[in-house]
Amino acid sequence: MTEQDRTPSPTPPGATDARFTLAAERTMLAWLRTALGLIAAGVAVLHIVDDFGVTGSKTALGVSLVVLGALAALTGAWRWQRVNHVLDNGGQMPGPAAVWALTVAMVVIAAGFVIFV
């Protein structure tokens, strides 16, 4: 083996440190865990919880949780793809708008439970 064989090759342009890629993947998995929890809560409301006092409120709240869970999964996947693209090619990271939208939607649904239950 020559000295040249032992010298590590320089990092190719655009190569991303694996730690950043794995961190982005862990964040995406957190979005999926949140989505799964919201979907499970929605299914529980629809199939386990007794009817609320207002007609249709149980269905509206349950379906809202399931839809919000699906949107959280889609948003997490989009953000993960966007972050990986930015890590590889440069550019701006996704902003906090999706996080704020999910937060506001969860607060609205929580208010629905307080009002209707």
- Non-local (6+) Cβ contacts of 90 within 8 A are none
Query: Nearest 5 degrees, angle CA 59-CA 69-CA 27?
Result: 165
pLDDT of 43 = 97
The predicted-structure confidence for 65-114, as pLDDT tens digits, reads as follows 999 999 999 999 999 999 999 998 889 999 999 999 999 999 999 999 89
| Amino acid letter, residue 5 | D
Tokens of residue 97, six digits? 């708008």
Q: How far is CA 33 from the centre of its chain?
A: 8
pLDDT of 116 = 83
pLDDT grade, residue 9 (50/70/90)?
low
Which bin fits 84, alpha (ψ -120 to 50), beta or left (φ > 0)?
alpha
